[in-house]
Structure 1
Amino acid sequence: MGGAYNVLIARQPIFDAKLRICGYELLFRSQQDQHQALFDDPDGATRDVIINNFMAIWDTGSKNRVFLPAYINLGRQFILSHQIPDLPRDQVVLEVLENAGFDQLLFDALVLLKKDGYTLALDDFVYTPSKKPFVQLADIIKLDVLALGIEEVGRQIELLKPFGKRILAEKVETADELEQCKVLGCHLFQGYFLSRPTLTKGKRIPASASVLLRTLDALSKGAGSAEIEQIIRMDPGLTYKLLRLINSAQFAFVREITTVRETVNLLGRIAMKKWLTMLLTVCNEQCISEQIVLALTRARMCELLAEQKGEDTADAFILGILSSLEMLYGVSISQILQDLPLDERLAKGMKGVGALGELLLITRAYEREQWNMVERLAKAPYDPGVAYMESVGWAGKMAAGLA
């Protein structure tokens, strides 16, 4: 599993207080040693894999190809070896693991990295007076909210205030924890709070999404292109988005497509369902861009896994988007699905049951770096590492095109 990569690679976004992305942590699981730190294997195989694919996983699809900093975990052995690859200094943050051993040897090695222009972060940090020189040397201090608890995070921040360092709260699991960490004075944030929205009772999905769900329902029931056009034209903004999409480089038609009916006829019903489902990701103006990227990545990965297994790729893509609607709208899945009766396979898939459900379980486990579950579920012919790498690049490009 993992194909030519020999590792499972994922990335987790890092945000500022306004939820603007300012970096990604590169997370990985090596097949050779499932507990190694990144770049800490003796033969350098994992290091070469990451370097060779560094730009691929970091391509966010930006037209200007702006690459955000990558936070990379380094263990003691690799730091002391003085064999850090020649990575672009403005595109990486080197994280010193908590078990690296804070002694003079490590300090001297970190001083050399600092002089060489690297940004340093101390991972899963807990302050003690003996670590003061390391705090003074570092640029970013990462505090594990899940392990420490909010009260201890606050105490650690008070101890660290005199040093004037940026504090990164990691493993922030909920929107409530995010707000508490902001109040305490954290500058950067990382965790699964995006995929665990605060659900508001009685909240409804946006009008554009309602039209899309009605259109998908009509397509499933065999409605003709004229009826589909009539539904979509109820929302001028949706009509515009659909026509812009069909005339994009993604399709590269020779002439401009100017009507919804023509779009339905050209795409066909299966492809139409897929692309309409994708438009569900941009109906909520309150969504931040990374939520859209996450939803598209999930859908594309489900689709690619289905292709590897010989399952229905269109249904797999749709399932990936539908499973993201709770995150995108802050509305419970049960309420959303009242407006979209699903066939039995998709309904079971939403619950993680059946062949489609297996695709979703693997994909969601990969998102959360639940490597043991990934390895248990993703037996051959699945290759989740390859599917994820392709999905990240594809999702970034598509999100940029939908913006």
Structure 2
Amino acid sequence: MQGSAQEEISTGHYTIAIQPIVNVQLQHVADELLYRGDMTANSAAVSDDVQATARACAVAIYEIGLDKLCGQRKLFINASGDWLLNPDLSGLPTDQIVIEVLEDTQASGPLLEALRQLKAQGYTLALDDFEPHTSNSPLLNMADIIKFDISTGLPTALIQRLYQAGYTPLAERVETYAEFEQCKALGFSLFQGYFYQRPQVQTTQNQRQSTSRSNQMQLLAQFYSDKVRLPALSTLIARDPYLLNAVFKRANSAEKASQRPVYKLLDCILIIGLKELRTLVSIVMLAGNHPASKVNLINGLTRAFACEALAEQRGLDGEEGFITGLFSHMPIILGVELETMLQELPLSPTISQALTLRLGSIGRLLTDIEDCEQGTANRNVPAELMLQAAAEARALLDTHIS
């Protein structure tokens, strides 16, 4: 991750910066996308890696647009371990995005599987500030590009070995033309640093007046229901000016657009596709301080599927059961108090009373499922129901990765 020699792009309270990456002919072939907390910041002050990346992606892809920001060039984005493990964030454009795995990422089994899935989708993977040690050697097997911070030294033998093995070595923090020539002689083919001129400044005038939490929660419920209804999605997106603008801009981008501009929202949704639309909505949510981690989402979906199945077994409305189960977990998923959520979300009295007081048939059903989650045996709930619900939730998220 680079320092201050970047182009600053105005985006309201926070900004992005891009730094050029050049090849041996000094052709500008890629950019690294960086997050800045405000226009005066010369470096990133990041307290939440996932939120920082989400905000940067929201601006670059859905506000400015990749075609305007970097044309046909590749765009490197910094991805933490938590970002990589979130399946809803894997719908970015595979042909243009390079996913840069941060240097402190731990090579766990789930993370390596997530990287394998990303590779299978067609993403290029880069390792940031690479230093060889046993713990990150599995990550090396996944990478295409290896970045070296040359200000900390040049491990000549390792660089040449990786180059001969087919990796693309990238030298970062190249300060002078002499350093560029030195790195080129060692086998580096990509270069990033202050020695290269800054690109032209670009700005966006977008105002981020995004949707209420209730709209976000209804969008999530639509995305994770067994039957996604496009008209309902369209209605919810239309309520959010920021999201609506992002959808139209993305559908009419150079990569997505047909020969004529697309003016109908439903047509835009069809052009973008549900997979990337989930990513777009997730990024907007994460950028707005409401992290929805994969683990919490799996737990919420497991409860929702369990409530749906038990409702149907008891002759109740399965959709009411699903919504009750999912929204009972929303305070954890979105980091919002239940009371606040209910003030913003016009739910039916049946569901509201089930959520707040556990009243009615749906309330008793939710209590039974919560008991099972705590490991309490409940003769009113089939033993295999929770296992089936958990498998269904994981399968749903795995489908979004593939």
User: TM above 0.5, one fold?
Assistant: no
Q: TM-score, normalised by structure 1?
A: 0.43
Q: TM-score, normalised by structure 2?
A: 0.43
